[in-house]
């Protein structure tokens, strides 16, 4: 079985107590069943604290936060009390893996890092391309996906990553091309012919379509989503704005790498293309330190399945997120 991963993946190291926004802050983790069972029987003071913070919500077990918004296992030195006292095997699945991602497609798998971790964000946003390395391991299953759709998605992802890396296009132009190309590939996924489009032609079309974009309405849409931290609320309330930067381009490559192939599960590629351009646009509109803004964006949006679903729905239903309006904001 082949496992693909970005070239920066092996360089990630958790900096634990030196982390400026620890994953143990502001994030109520969903606990897997085995860990929840273990926590309910853990003796001593640590077990009592854990039990008092385990809550059931929509059929899932959540480790709720303390009054100051931290994980109840977080210690003053920034380390995890559970890990210190009971070893790494005591951690629930999410904490063991974070910020490492794995998408398993049966016959192959892809690894990645989450932008919501500040150390991972440094690697992701400074990457000059999205080069995948590959290692082969024993095992693997039959493909558990539509192989025709996956062929289209793999080929088109490579192409869209090339468009994004194309230095003749500004970042905003490249994102406009990503959006239009998403429509072309969607049509192919839906049974249409393969369209061979040049970035120049797509850009011309994008310019002719673009009109009436409203940054205020896009941010209003985000204010109506679930909000985790007061820092995010404050950022949305007082956007600073910024110019397009190469780090926005790198963020787009990360999102394409992470979400493009997921359209194999529901054939909604347009939603993923819009999620990509919209995410980069919102990080630009908010401005500030791009590393911090993008990392917090990811923590608030990518780590909250309800928020991702709301954006995938809003891509089709929200007037603020209409294509022609987004195109204008991208090309300003
Ligand atoms: S957010 Fe990343 S660097 Fe910070 S503590 Fe968590 S894994 Fe480590």
Distance of alpha carbon 252 from alpha carbon 247, whole angstroms: 9
Pocket of ligand 1 contains residue 23 by CB under 6 Å: yes
Q: In this structure, are strands 60-63 and 29-31 parallel, antiparallel, or unpaired?
A: antiparallel
pLDDT at 263: 96
Q: How far is the CA of 95 from the centre of ligand 1 (A)?
A: 10
pLDDT at 78: 73
pLDDT at res. 20: 85
pTM, two decimals, is 0.90
Chain center to CA of 158: 19
Q: Provide the residue-wise pLDDT of the chain in tens; the chain has 332 residues.
A: 899 999 999 999 988 778 888 788 877 889 999 999 999 999 999 999 999 999 998 889 999 999 888 889 988 777 788 988 888 889 999 988 989 999 999 889 999 999 999 999 999 999 988 788 999 988 877 887 889 999 999 999 999 999 998 778 999 999 999 999 999 999 999 999 888 889 999 999 999 999 988 999 999 999 999 998 899 999 999 999 999 999 999 999 999 999 999 999 999 999 999 999 999 999 999 999 999 999 999 999 999 999 999 999 999 999 999 999 999 999 98
Pocket probe mutation, ligand 1, options 19, 71, 83, 88, max atoms within 8 Å of Cβ: 19
Instruction: Dump the DSSP string for 174-200.
Output: HHHHHHHHHHHHHHHHTT-PPP---HH
User: Nearest Cα to 228, choosing from 117, 307, 322, 134?
Assistant: 307
CA 302 – CA 114 distance, rounded (Å): 9
**Dihedral in degrees, nearest 10, Cα atoms 182, 185, 186, 187:** 130
Tell me 137's DSSP state: -
Distance in Å, CA 195 to ligand 1 centroid = 42
Q: Is the CB of 15 under 6 A from ligand 1?
A: yes
pLDDT in the model for residue 207: 96
Return the ligand 1 atom nearest residue 20 CA: 4
For residue 71 and ligand 1, the question of a CB distance below 6 A is answered with no
Q: What order of strands is seen across the sheet that includes strand 2-6?
A: 100-104, 108-113, 2-6, 132-136
pLDDT on residue 180: 96
Q: Are 212 and 324 in contact (CB under 8 A)?
A: yes
At 109, give phi and psi (nearest 5°).
-140, 155
Q: Ligand 1 in contact with 119 (CB < 6 A)?
A: yes
């Amino acid at each position: 079985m082949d496992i693909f991963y970005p070239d920066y993946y092996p360089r990630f190291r958790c900096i634990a107590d030196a982390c400026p926004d620890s994953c143990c802050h502001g994030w109520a983790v969903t606990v897997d069943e085995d860990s929840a069972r273990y926590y309910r029987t853990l003796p001593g003071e640590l077990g009592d604290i854990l039990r008092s913070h385990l809550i059931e919500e929509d059929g899932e077990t959540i480790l709720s936060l303390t009054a100051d918004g931290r994980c109840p296992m977080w210690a003053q030195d920034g380390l995890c009390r559970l890990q210190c006292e009971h070893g790494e095997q005591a951690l629930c699945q999410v904490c063991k893996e974070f910020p490492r991602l794995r998408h398993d497609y049966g016959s192959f798998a892809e690894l990645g890092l989450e932008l919501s971790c500040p150390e991972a964000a440094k690697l992701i946003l400074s990457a000059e391309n999205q080069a995948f390395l590959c290692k082969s391991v024993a095992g693997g299953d039959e493909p558990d996906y539509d192989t025709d759709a996956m062929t289209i998605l793999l080929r088109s992802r490579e192409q869209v990553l090339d468009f994004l890396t194309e230095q003749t296009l500004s970042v905003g132009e490249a994102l406009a091309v990503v959006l239009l190309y998403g429509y072309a590939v969607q049509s192919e996924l839906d049974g249409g012919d393969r369209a061979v489009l040049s970035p120049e032609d797509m850009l011309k079309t994008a310019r002719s379509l673009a009109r009436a974009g409203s940054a205020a309405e896009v941010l209003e849409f985000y204010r109506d989503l679930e909000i985790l931290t007061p820092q995010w609320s404050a950022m949305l309330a007082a956007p600073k704005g910024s110019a397009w930067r190469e780090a926005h381009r790198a963020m787009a490559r990360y999102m394409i790498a992470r979400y493009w192939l997921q359209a194999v599960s529901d054939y909604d590629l347009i939603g993923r293309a819009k999620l990509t351009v919209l995410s980069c646009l919102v990080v630009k509109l908010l401005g500030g330190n791009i590393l911090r803004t993008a990392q917090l964006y990811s923590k608030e949006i990518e780590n909250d399945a309800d928020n991702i679903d709301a954006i995938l729905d809003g891509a089709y239903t929200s007037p603020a997120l209409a294509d022609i309006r987004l195109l204008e904001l991208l090309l300003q």
